Amino acid sequence: MEIDLMILLPLLAILYTVYYYLTKDNKYFHDKPIPSMAVQPLFGSSGRLMMKKTSFHEWIIEIYNKYPLVKVFGMHDFTAPVFVVRDPELIKRIGVKDFDYFVNHRPIFGTSEVTNSHSLFNKTLIALNDQKWRDMRATLSPAFTGSKMRQMFELVGECCENMVKFYKDEVRTKGGSQEHEMKNVFTRFANDVIATCAFGIKVDSLRNAENDFYENGRKMMMFQRPIVMAKVFGFRLAPKLMAWLGLDLFDREQNKYFTEIIKDTVRTRDAHGIVRHDMVNLLMQARKGALKNQKETKEEEEVKGFATVEESEVGRVQVGKGMEMSELEMVAQCLIFFLAGFDTVSTCLTFLAYELTVNREVQDKLYEEIRQTKESLGGGPLTYDAVQKMPYMDMVVSEGLRMWSPAPSTDRLCVRDYVVDDGENLKFTIDKGTAVFFPIAGLHHDPKYYPNPNKFDPERFSPENRDKINPSTYLPFGIGPRNCIGSRFALMEVKAIIYYMLMEFTFEKTSNTQIPLQLGKGFAGMRSEKGVHVELRPRKH
């Protein structure tokens, strides 16, 4: 009996400790003057999502609509309390005006200060905190100006032309038009763009489908794998333990592969004085403090797309001689460009292809603008300036990003106590260390801001209508100083490939085209349930 008690008492103590840890914040919102969602064991308020009852996109819309009359409500993400901000003015205040209270993203996927120092993800711009983030943002910001995009556009254009040639050759060899799953098509395209622009190497993921660069990238993006999901749970519930175990979100094999590419490229360029207009070159300049902010021309200011986000003063501040950026930090920045380009851009293009396929009148109108643009170029290759001067293209892409924002939400971490006071009847404190959610998909599908939100209607973003849109209700690239640094690059890439593809093909429905589109359920990313199947039918010029 004594032996049993000696075993039982420590076991009970351990169970109680675990229970306390998992439930200690369950009543966090009870003394706040805002409603809060019910809490379930372990999953918090996100049980439906974690049990794959709904998609992330639809879940964000669902919780956004749960409390239609409030500005803020509470929920629990796993065990952590989170404030969900619905009110555009409060989003602007938190994201822009009072940014210093919310300078960081919440620690997730091994990005907290306690994670292991060898983690590549921990060194990416998105994961850095406080002054380290400010320095890195200021160092990288000059690499993403309009003038730098113009220099890099030729590399993007080569990838576009290569892709179109591949599918035209396929028509000739196989005879007639072919059906394709568009996520696969655009993932390979985005892979090749990032390979050439961010890593300085040329790959052809269409003709060489299993090339090492694509395969390593694909493995890195397989967030649905059980081992990756286990790491996600681990980083969320026990980050110190994960750091002690020396674990990273990404496998060592992929980390090593991409690290070696950058190291070899930098060594070769330094040794032979090679200059190439790509991200590696810009990062090498940044390391030497030779990358400076340039004031954009009046023309560049006028032709930016609607979705392009402005760089804040944080990014415009010069940091003297530039950061002392290690090789590993350089690799990390290339890695985050890769992750964003590989998945976010291909996701945007996949859903845009779907909308163009099922909305033929939009596709035809966009083709007419493309045809006129090509005539204005005298039949020559597309240029960055020509892309920027296509108003209907910008309207179509902006609406695609509204309906199917690749990031359904974004977050901020409160770094010191912040008092919310709307001057009416709402006053409470967001405590230091608590996370804030901006429900992007919810805002984008709110009929108060976008009438008939489930209709794909590019006219919302026409020159006559765009002034009616509250900027704080349109957040495909986030808001404030921590917005997406690569919005120009992403939009340039999306518009360029749509131009080249629609110039040569029409997008046609097939018996496998799922209408209406159903989203894949679960936490990981925006994806369709059964793929987006489209026939690429050659145009008769």
pLDDT for residue 320: 46
* Nearest alpha-carbon partner for 481 in 293, 305, 251, 314: 314
User: What are the backbone dihedrals phi and psi of residue 17, each rounded to the nearest 5 degrees, phi first?
Assistant: -60, -45
Assign 76 to helix, strand or coil. Answer: strand
For residues 11 and 429, the model is more confident at 429
pLDDT band (50, 70, 90) for residue 298? low
What is the dotted CATH code of the domain comprising 5-538? 1.10.630.10
Which residues have CB under 8 Å from 249's CB, separation 6+? 109, 110, 119, 121, 228, 231, 232, 235
- Please give the helix or strand (H or E) that residue 23 lies within, else none: helix 2-23
Assign 521 to helix, strand or coil. Answer: coil
* Nearest alpha-carbon partner for 396 in 452, 446, 444, 348: 348
- 361 exposed, middle or buried (CB, 10 Å; 0-12, 13-18, 19+)? exposed
Task: Return the bridge partners of 508, or none.
Answer: 535
For residues 11 and 501, the model is more confident at 501
pLDDT for residue 227: 65
* Averaged confidence pLDDT in the chain: 86
pLDDT for residue 510: 95
pLDDT band (50, 70, 90) for residue 348? very high
What average pLDDT does the segment 67-86 reach?
93
8 A C-beta contact, residue 189 and residue 497? yes
Judged against a pLDDT cut of 60, whether residue 22 lies above it is answered with yes
Cis before 516? omega within 30: yes
* Nearest alpha-carbon partner for 401 in 361, 444, 451: 444
Q: How far apart are CA 326 and CA 272, in angstroms?
A: 20
Q: How far apart are CA 208 and CA 154, in angstroms?
A: 22
Q: How far apart are CA 497 and CA 160, in angstroms?
A: 5
Q: How far apart are CA 111 and CA 231, in angstroms?
A: 12
Q: How far apart are CA 314 and CA 102, in angstroms?
A: 14
Q: Where are the domains of the chain?
A: 5-538
DSSP 393-461: HHHHHHHHHHHT-SSS-EEEE-SS-EEEE-SSS-EEEE-TT-EEEE-HHHHHT-TTTSSSTTS--GGGG
Residue with tokens 């006028």: 302
What average pLDDT does the segment 318-347 reach?
76
pLDDT for residue 394: 97
Binding residues: 484
8 A C-beta contact, residue 352 and residue 397? yes
pLDDT band (50, 70, 90) for residue 300? low
Q: Is the pTM of this model over 0.75?
A: yes
What average pLDDT does the segment 72-93 reach?
94
* Nearest alpha-carbon partner for 200 in 290, 262, 158, 142: 262
pLDDT for residue 112: 44
Q: How far apart are CA 195 and CA 261, in angstroms?
A: 10
Per-residue tokens: 475? 């957040």
Lowest mean pLDDT among 154-168, 274-288, 483-497: 274-288
pLDDT for residue 465: 95
pLDDT for residue 70: 96
Q: How far apart are CA 96 and CA 90, in angstroms?
A: 10
What average pLDDT does the segment 435-444 reach?
97
Judged against a pLDDT cut of 60, whether residue 115 lies above it is answered with no
User: What are the backbone dihedrals phi and psi of residue 77, each rounded to the nearest 5 degrees, phi first?
Assistant: -95, 105
Which residues have CB under 8 Å from 353's CB, separation 6+? 182, 186, 507, 532, 534
For residues 228 and 437, the model is more confident at 437
pLDDT for residue 370: 97
* Nearest alpha-carbon partner for 214 in 347, 342, 328: 342
Lowest mean pLDDT among 56-65, 205-214, 529-538: 205-214
DSSP structure class, residue 52: T
pLDDT for residue 303: 66
pLDDT digits (tens, 9 = 90+) for 384-421: 999 999 999 999 999 999 999 999 999 999 999 999 99
What average pLDDT does the segment 145-169 reach?
93
pLDDT for residue 225: 59
pLDDT for residue 332: 86
Q: How far apart are CA 97 and CA 479, in angstroms?
A: 11
Judged against a pLDDT cut of 60, whether residue 267 lies above it is answered with yes
Judged against a pLDDT cut of 70, whether residue 498 lies above it is answered with yes
Per-residue tokens: 67? 């409390």
Task: Return the bridge partners of 44, or none.
Answer: 40, 77
Binding residues for heme: 484
8 A C-beta contact, residue 484 and residue 401? no
DSSP structure class, residue 106: P
